[in-house]
Amino acid sequence: MASNSSLVLLLPLFLFTAMVAIAAAQPPAGFRIATLAERLYLTYLLRLRAYRLNFRMIRNGVLATTGAMRMISRINIDRAFVMDVGPRRYCLLEVVANAFDYRTVPAQSAPSLAIRDRVVAIVTVIVLNGNFYQAEVRHLDNFLPPLEP
C-alpha cells in the first residue's frame, strides 16, 4: 500500500513535467512553425553566410590579430519559427553548430584553438517577398557557451 501512495504523490509531478514540455515546444506568440522547405532554404542560407564569413576572416588575415575570434561550421537548425508580416517574413531560429574558438595573445608565439561541439545560437532572418536568396541575417546572438576573451 505504501508504494501505491508514493505513486499517487508522484503523479502531479509527472503531469506538471509533461505540461511544461508541451508549453516549451510551442512557437512564440504570432509565430508559426516553419515548413520543411523554409527550413531547407534557411539552412542553406546560414551555411553559405558562415562559409563566406569564415573565408573572409582567413583571406583578410583577421585571425592574425590579437584577441578572440569564433568561426562556425556544420550549421543545423534545431527549431525554426516564422511570422508573416505583409511582404516580410521574420524567421526566428535556434541554431546548433560547431565552433572554432581562435585566441591569440601578444606575449605568446603560438595561438590557441579550441573546438567546441554543439554551440547554440539564436538567429533572426528577414526574408522579403519570399525570396530566400536575398534574405538578410539581421541578428545573431546568445551563443552558448559564449566566446571567452
Alpha carbon distance 5, 86 (integer Å): 56
Q: What is the pLDDT along the chain (149 residues), one digit of tens a residue?
A: 455 666 666 777 766 676 665 656 677 778 899 999 999 999 998 888 888 877 777 776 666 666 677 788 888 898 899 999 888 999 999 888 888 887 777 777 677 778 888 888 888 899 998 888 888 888 877 777 766 65
Could you tell me which of 136, 111, 132 has the C-alpha nearest to residue 123? Answer: 136
Query: For 39, what's the count of Cα atoms within 13 Å in the CB-facing half-sphere?
Result: 13
Alpha carbon distance 111, 49 (integer Å): 25
- The sign of the dihedral angle between the CA atoms of 130, 135, 136, 138 is positive
Cis bond leading into 145, ω under 30°?
yes
